[in-house]
Amino acid sequence: MKYIAIIILSLFVAGCQGNNHQGKEGDKERSEVPQRVVCMSSTHIAAMSKLGIDSLIVGVSGGEYITNKLILNGLSTGKIKDIGYESSLDFETLISLKPDILFTYDINGENSAVIEKIKRLGINTIVINDFHLNNPIERLESIREIGKIFNCSEKADSIIKSISNNYNSLTKLTAGLEKKKILLNTPWKGTWYIPGSENYFSKMVSDAGGVIVGSKDGEVTSHPYDTEEILRYSRECEIWILQNSIISIKELKSSNHLFEDFTPLIKGNVYNNTLRINKNGGNDYWETGAMEPDKILEDLIRIIHPEILEEGVFNYFERIY
């Protein structure tokens, strides 16, 4: 298994309950315990929430888009501060929080300069780039790595094992079934991007018993198409899965008149991951969902092969009308 590329600039080890922990003789644990944490990504918040230590968070980035209720309550009372985004980080507020640790990410080096400046302030910084991984279970390694820092390794292993077992059990339900053709996404600035078969979401669709039309075999990156090409592909599909903020068929049609001729739309089989969105547009699919691939897979099976999971409700997706 690949492991998350994590740059550990400085490492604390702490107890899950936030109490001081004295490391055993001969191991690398330290007695210092992080009590004040800043998270620059909502997925880091979700990982900490899974471990039951999100109460240690004192600072976040993009607070209006976060869906975690504990964090939202802290933001409303002032207990938790929003330090802004990397491009306009509020360093004064960050310093005032006196964090023991800061979790961040770096996309192709875009945040390197900001990370270096944070380091120069003497703030212990950990970069977690879990989004690079295209295996749904491997992305859970962020829970394991954060668990190590807070001395929650046993709990982290248990969480990952439970999710992995559930995910694998669900894949067995679709094994051997004919894969249904799935239309994915909508155009971005006039171009329709379809992820390759090795992409994170493409793999989940495959595990759910589907295949994304236009997806290039053996590739991770997305391939560009024009809408007319996708229209031809759509005639082969009965299901259309979106990954944007559209919440109605009317809104979808108004974004492009050609969509009216798409077979899945005509048949009323259009779904989006918009079930858990806050008032500002923050979507829990991209937050907690990143740590719950089994629940996303369950949703996809309900969409693609509803005959398999006749009972129950959606976790993140919904049919749009």
Angle at 297 between CA 295 and CA 301, to 5 degrees: 120
Instruction: Grade residue 20 by pLDDT with cuts at 50, 70 and 90.
Output: very low
- Give residue limits of the domains in the chain: 6-162, 176-319
Helices marked H in the chain:
42-51, 69-77, 91-97, 112-120, 141-149, 153-174, 200-207, 227-234, 249-255, 263-266, 293-304
Q: What is the mean pLDDT of residues 269-292?
A: 96
Spatial CB neighbours of 126, under 8 Å, sequence gap ≥ 6: 6, 7, 8, 9, 10, 11, 101, 102, 103, 104, 149
Check if 6-162 and 176-319 are the same fold: yes
- Burial (0-12, 13-18, 19+ Cβ within 10 Å), 301: buried
Instruction: Grade residue 10 by pLDDT with cuts at 50, 70 and 90.
Output: very low
- Amino acid 183: pLDDT: 97
Instruction: Grade residue 31 by pLDDT with cuts at 50, 70 and 90.
Output: low
Fold of 176-319: Rossmann fold (3.40.50)
Instruction: Grade residue 310 by pLDDT with cuts at 50, 70 and 90.
Output: confident
Decide if 192 contacts 183 (C-beta within 8 A): no
50-59, 171-180, 305-314: lowest mean pLDDT where?
305-314
Q: Tell me the two tokens of residue 209.
A: 């018993």
Q: pLDDT, tens digit, for every residue of 193-227?
A: 999 999 999 999 999 999 999 999 999 999 999 99
Q: pLDDT, tens digit, for every residue of 236-247?
A: 999 999 999 999
Please give the mean pLDDT across all residues of the chain.
Answer: 90
Q: Tell me the two tokens of residue 199.
A: 């992409």
**Three state DSSP letters for 92-103:** HHHHHHCCCEEE
Specify the CATH number for 6-162; select among 3.40.50.1820, 3.40.50.1980, 2.40.160.20, 3.40.50.2000: 3.40.50.1980
